[in-house]
Structure 1
Amino acid sequence: MIVPGSASQALAAALADETGRSLATPEYHWFPDGEERAAVPDFDGEEAVVVAATDSNDALVELLQLQDAVREAGADEVTTVLPYMGYARQDRAFEHGQPVSARAVARAVSTGTDRVVLVTPHEADVADFFDVPVDVLDASSLLATPLPADLTEPLFLGPDASAEGLAVAVRDAYGAGETDFFEKERDYDTGDVTVTPSDASVAGRDVVVVDDIIATGSTMSEAVAALHERDCGDVYTACVHGMLAANARTKLAAAGVERVIASDTIERVASEVSVAPLVADAL
């Protein structure tokens, strides 16, 4: 049975359709002090597949409750699908005395599950923090599907060197174009990002800027603005995890983005691609 977290209802429903499994309908109660209590139907020995993006602290607590609830309801095996793993970017202690938050989250999630499925984590090595078997799925190639078939001399760009592999995956799935990346420096104290354009020729070419996540939109909007300064054609942004926090979507529009493409690992208006078939193959 597929058990959706509140942040992953559409994805869980799509996954139920893909796998032919039934879809549970959790119920929630909130106490006057703000605490939440999740409840699920009986499982009678079934496997429970909990699908829950942890895009907020509340979502993380809810996931831990759902894992415990399905055990109480009789599930004999629990698989946890993390379409988006919150805190995955905090995969090291940046200064002495600071936590490795990804490790802390992974250990907490591990206590309530037999297996974890991760979709395009920011760093694949976060899988090592879990105490249970982990399958890491790469959804980046799915982002090519919504792109127009007639892009002009397409260039697929990563906003930094670490994202070039994502750009290559999307280019290969699209079937045409070149790849390159921007140089990016991030100040981890302030969060400020400086983007330096690469040497790729962009004049008159349609560009697809690819990353694993768009959070605040600052990195992407700087990259897009730099491209328009060099007389590029249309610019598309594509990411697996479209967090698009606060005014991120407005930043991208103001920078001149033609279209924002994201998957449903985080359910937003830009979620044009579903990772359900990819996850279904892993179950």
Structure 2
Amino acid sequence: MKKIFFALPGNDELATLLAEKCHAELGKAIIRQFPDGETYVKIESDVKDKQVILICTLNHPNEKLLSLYYLSQTAKELGAKSICIVAPYLAYMRQDKRFLAGEGITSVYFAKLISSFADSLITIDPHLHRRSSLSEIYAIPTTVIHAAVLISKWIRGNIEKPLLVGPDIESEQWVSEVAHHADAPFIILKKIRRGDEEVEISVPDVEKYKEYTPVLVDDIISTARTMIETIGHLKKAGMKKPVCIGIHGIFANNAYSDLFFAGADKVITCNTIPHESNRIKIDEIISISINRTK
């Protein structure tokens, strides 16, 4: 089946790269706003009997969802065989339970909504905290791609004597995987409770790793508070300035500049969300998954 790619606003560069790698057509569509704020959609390419690939990373999802829905519905009405949404960053994964009485479990509602108008979904490292897979909430086939190997490759090629650092025991599995592929050592910061309200953070084997460059890795950099706190602990321990790496760089408020102010040497992200920190490209691994879809 022939594939045709469409870029939602802000996704043009990634859509072009993916269409080229998949040797597929890059479709033309118009998405704009009427003066009253309503959304206008027009598909100018032939989509009949084709697999339509919609490229739309879902940061700021409320601004993008209607355009995504309208484009999908229009393509279906014009004869598209199937709709595949490629969302390198998948939103609404945080609220996966009812923490307080009366709260909406929005991850479930969002999954139901996407499943109602798409036939498949491809994403990178969604924030699966209390769920083992997307299939628990999505009713359509989903493909989850992992960026750990890409991050490790970037570390090997760009950092001399890297030391992967995890802020707490919960990060150990993720940090150890990246460290393994990067052929680098890793440490996990230790919490020592001194009293009911006093917790001391220590850097294990600090003298052993004084000549190493600390590398902090996380799936999402949003407010960056955890990374900033970790940088503070490393600074107190006399470590070198760290490199901060995130798969998805949301950078809420002033998070990007706050990291540098706290003492980061570099801040690096994958290009799942367009940002000046993008250094690790994910188009190759996404194109492989797209070519496997039908």
| 233 and 38 in structure 1: CA distance in 2 versus 1, 3 angstrom threshold | same
Given candidates 167, 171, 174, the residue that maps to 2:175 is 167
Match of 1:12 in 2: 15
Alignment of 1:120-199 (within 5 A): 120-123=125-128, 124-147=132-155, 149=157, 151=159, 153-180=161-188, 196-197=201-202, 199=204
Alignment check: 8 A CA contact 2:203 2:233 kept? no
Per the TM alignment, residue 153 of structure 1 is displaced from its structure 2 partner at its CA by 4.2
Larger Rg: 2
Give the C-alpha shift of residue 50 in structure 1. 1.1
TM-score, length basis structure 2:
0.85
> Quick one: percent identity of the two aligned structures?
25
Aligned to 1:186: none
What is the letter of the counterpart of residue 225 of structure 1? G
Ranges in structure 1 where 5+ consecutive residues have no aligned partner? 184-193
Equivalent residue for 1:261, pick from 268, 284, 292: 268
Does the aligned pair in 2 maintain the 1:143–1:273 contact within 8 Å?
Answer: yes
- Which residue of 1 is the match for residue 85 of structure 2? 80
Counterpart amino acid of residue 14 in structure 2: L
Please tell me whether residue 211 in structure 1 is matched to residue 218 in structure 2: yes
Q: How many residues are paired up?
A: 273
2:164–2:184 Cα contact (<8 Å) kept: no
Write the deviation string for residues 26-56 of structure 1: whole angstroms up to 9, x where unpaired: 2112122212222222202110111111111
Shift of 1:242: 0.7
Partners of 1:196 and 1:12 lie apart in 2 by 44
1:17 partner letter: E
Higher relative contact order (CA 8 A, sep 6+): 1
Equivalents in 2 of 1:182, 1:245: separation in Å?
27
- 1:50 pairs, out of 43, 48, 54, with 54
Aligned to 2:65: 60
1:211 aligned counterpart, secondary structure: strand
RMSD after superposition? 2.2
Deviations 1:103-147 (A, max 9, x none): 111110111111111210010534421111111111122123333
1:39 partner amino acid: K
Letter in 2 for 1:264: N
Match of 1:271 in 2: 278
What amino acid maps onto 1:155 in structure 2?
Answer: L
Query: Aligned equivalents of 1:127 and 1:161: distance in 2?
Result: 27
What letter corresponds to residue 174 of structure 2 in structure 1?
L
1:217-257 Cα offsets, whole Å, 9 max, x none, are: 22211111211111112301111101112211111001111
Code of the residue aligned with 2:26 in structure 1: it is: L
2-structure distance, mates of 1:93, 1:65: 30
Structure 2: 5+ residue stretches without partners: 192-198
| TM-score, length of structure 1 as denominator length | 0.88
